[in-house]
Amino acid sequence: MPAVTQSTYCLPDDAHLMIHPGMPPTWGWAILVGVCLIAGYALLAKPPATRPARFWPLQRLPLLGPLQTFLTASPWPLVVLRLITTAVLLLVMAAGLWGVPWPERNFATTFTWILWWTLVILSVFWLGSAWCAICPWDALAVWLNRRHWWRRGETDHGLGWRLPAPLRTVWPALVLLIGLTWLELGVGLPANPEATALLALLMVVLTTTSQALFERKSFCRYACPIGRTIGFYAQLAPLELRPVQPDRCRSCTTLECYHGSQEMEPCPTFLTMGRLTQNTYCLSCGACLLSCPEHNIAWRLRPMATEAAVGARPHWDEAWFMVLLLALTTFHGLTMLPAWEASQCAMIPFLSTLVGNRGGWLLAFSLGMGVCLVVPVLLYTLAVAVTHRLAGTRLPFRRVFALCSFAVLPVAFAYHLAHNLSHLVRESAGISQVMLNPFGSGTLPMTAMEQQWRMMTLLIPESWLYVCQGGLFLLGYGLAVAIVRQRIGVLGRQRRILLPLLLFLGGCTGLNLWLVVQNMVMRL
């Protein structure tokens, strides 16, 4: 595959990018036919009947039951896992600050942008928000502020302020997520080990400062862009932490799950188990499970997307987060098309004359990013407006906007994981050498021949990758359609009111599928 030289407006003349091939068009057309069949079924089938969801206690299942008992019977397994992730975080920061500047030779960039983020999103598919339970940023913040491995401190070393009411939403997390995306794709964090390390350090500082100033883990609940992304995706996960007997929780007066016990800390994100209906803000830390005197809390399995289809409550700020999360995932794919750089470079001379300098690349990127975020929001708003009018409901538009937003989650998640899987499969060759030499001592930048070898040495056979990506697209759209059919049922039983959202979700799926078919720039 020949290297692609960028314009002098973008990068120096000697900079080059390696491009890996996309999914064969025949695969794309086959998946698109499957998407159309799912949409046709939704329009022709009878409205879904309202049935109670089925659940399976994890402790009763073979293999999984004993494993769950081992991990939750004591806080120490979680402490050990946190020590491991914290050690990796410290290595990322050290390698980024003092290792070689070549991103493909440095553990900080290779681990963070190729391996870690893909595995975190993949873990949501099976384990929900389990990553938050072993988050190293939070672990360091807890140990620095509470000065205990896990027990409840005798004294509170923080100020315990209550977060101002305007900030007790997910708007802070959404702003930080957009800012993080701008830094990642606009400034180029994946290509800069030092900046990657400083970003990791910044997350530690934000988490630690928040716990020192505000009550419990306010940053985790309201402001962490990674945690809130995982939390919303966790609405699709087949795993949840819930009461064994809900009636017993509702009649409880001591509420150890909320207030904590003599040894265990209270719920870090202000949740009460008797009223818990969604995974969005649960950190999977298990504090409620260990503090409940009745042992009435346990992990259980459920059908995928049950929560997004039925259990989760629609809120205005959460709806905006989910819709913009869909836009951001698609934007990631657009920025890795070779044509993206060309389109930006075409804008730069014009923008440079406006700002009076040659630093127009970042301005062009910001303008392109703004357009790519606004357009999906406008299209979603239009689809909701048409649905609202066809249904003739008396519900306010804001309520319908929030009610329908759950359907975008599986579409965003499917492409997010399919896109990252491609990077993991195609760019993980040689990662073992980086782990053995995390600082890159004695290495030189990767040559074009080495980059070609890495691109051609796949982690799994290429056909397996296409099967996984195709399955994700069909599963994502299928879950989105199921959510639409359940959520729109409260507006009316006419099939025609499904059409606007089915077209919007189908269009988003088609665009994401088109991105996967295109040749893609390698991340490192």
Tell me what the mean pLDDT of segment 148-170 comes to: 79
pLDDT band at 19 (very low <50, low <70, confident <90, very high): confident
CA-angle at 16, arms to 184 and 355, nearest 5°: 55
Residue 156 has pLDDT above 70, yes or no: no
pLDDT tier for residue 193 given thresholds of 50, 70 and 90: very high
CA angle 443, 448, 449 (to 5 degrees): 90
Confidence at 353, pLDDT banded by 50, 70, 90: low
Q: Does pLDDT of 505 surpass 80?
A: yes
What pLDDT digit, counting tens, does each position of 220-237 carry?
Answer: 999 999 999 999 999 999
* Residue bearing tokens 């040749």: 519
* Digit-coded pLDDT (tens) for 259-308: 888 888 889 999 998 888 889 999 998 888 888 888 889 899 999 999 99
CA–CA dist 186, 181 (Å, integer): 8
Average pLDDT, the chain: 87
205 versus 46: the higher-pLDDT residue is 205
The residue to which tokens 């295109």 are assigned: 518
Least confident of 1-5, 357-361, 424-428, 445-449: 1-5
- Could you say which DSSP state residue 518 is in? S
How confident is the model over 392-448, as pLDDT tens digits?
888 899 999 999 999 999 999 999 999 999 989 988 888 888 999 999 998 888 887
pLDDT, average across residues 37-53 = 84
Average pLDDT for 345-374: 71
| Lowest-pLDDT range of 136-150, 213-227, 467-481, 510-524 | 136-150
pLDDT of 359 higher than 80: no
Rounded to an integer, what distance in angstroms lies between the CA atom of residue 10 and that of residue 443? 26
List the Cα angle 488/494/499 in 5-degree steps: 65
pLDDT, residue 145, reads 85
Q: Which two structure tokens, joined as six digits, stand for 398?
A: 């804001």
The amino acid at residue 138 is D
pLDDT (mean) for 249-261:
87
Are 382 and 42 in contact by the 8 Å Cβ rule? The answer is: no
DSSP tally for the chain: helices H, then strands E:
24, 7
Q: Which two tokens stand for residue 196?
A: 């990657």
Average pLDDT over residues 173-196: 93
Residues above pLDDT 90, as percent of the chain: 53
pLDDT at 14: 38
Averaged pLDDT for residues 39-58: 83
- Write 207-212 long-range contacts (CB < 8 A, 24+): 207/137, 207/138, 207/140, 207/141, 208/140, 208/141, 208/144, 208/145, 210/141, 211/141, 211/142, 211/145, 211/158, 212/145, 212/157, 212/158, 212/159
64 pLDDT band, cuts 50/70/90, is confident
CB-based contact 221:129 (threshold 8 Å): no
11 DSSP 8-state letter: S
Higher pLDDT, 151 or 367: 367
Q: How confident is the model at residue 154 (pLDDT cuts 50, 70, 90)?
A: low
Model confidence at 157, in pLDDT bands (50, 70, 90)? low
Q: How far apart are CA 218 and CA 223, in angstroms?
A: 7
Evaluate whether 82 touches 139 at the Cβ level (below 8 Å).
yes
Nearest to 207 by CA among 267, 288, 120, 136: 136
Q: How far is the C-alpha of 185 from the C-alpha of 447, rounded, in Å?
A: 23
φ/ψ of 521, rounded to 5, equals -70, 135
Report the range of poorest mean pLDDT among 323-332, 347-356, 496-505.
Answer: 347-356
Residue 441, amino acid: S
Distance in angstroms between the alpha carbons of the first and the last residue of the chain: 16
